Amino acid sequence: MSTPKARARWMRGGLVGVCSTVMTALAHTVPGAGLPSGSGLAVVLLVCGTVGAAVSRITLEDRRARLSVVAAALGVAQALGHIVLWLGGGHHHSAAPLGLTPAMTAAHLGAAVVLGAAIVAVEYLYVVCASVLQWLRLFATSGVRPPVRKSRRATKVVVAQRIWVASGLGMRAPPVRCATA
């Protein structure tokens, strides 16, 4: 059985994977290179999804540590996606190593921190809402149920069963009219 915290961790991993893929793809369009497609997009999805799956396995109780891990994972996923697109060609902004300028690096880091804070907040709110709903369900289902009404008249349903007629197991005596001799 999964707990709300476990489901929130899975949601955190999914959000890290999706957000890092979207940020990487959108950052690819800024210099005019266009959205990645084909194998480049497939590899970016694979890399970012793998980072998201790895983040979903980490159990952290402290929100600050969770924020730093999620922001670092978003940054790593973006960097790996950027490297994949750079190696695939068509992602050359400048002569800087790997095509990363200081402005682009700052934009990626800022986006990672802001989205990391949003993902950590969503994870926390999911756990709170799930636990509140579990408590409400306990109170909603444990209410006093009205007594079951019993019918006042007794009914006796007599139905002729076809099995006695068709099976030959019914009465074997001759009819009353034939029995008088």
pLDDT tens readout for residues 131-181? 899 888 887 776 677 778 776 777 777 766 665 555 555 566 666 677 665
In a domain, 129, yes or no: yes
In a domain, 147, yes or no: no
**Structural domain for 57, as ranges:** 4-141
In a domain, 168, yes or no: no
pTM value? 0.67
Which range of 37-41, 57-61, 145-149 scores highest in mean pLDDT? It is 57-61
In a domain, 174, yes or no: no
Structure token digits, residue 130: 């799930």
In a domain, 151, yes or no: no
| Amino acid in the structure at residue 77 | A
In a domain, 146, yes or no: no
In a domain, 29, yes or no: yes
In a domain, 149, yes or no: no
Cα 118 from Cα 124, distance rounded (Å) = 10
Tally of structural domains, the chain:
1
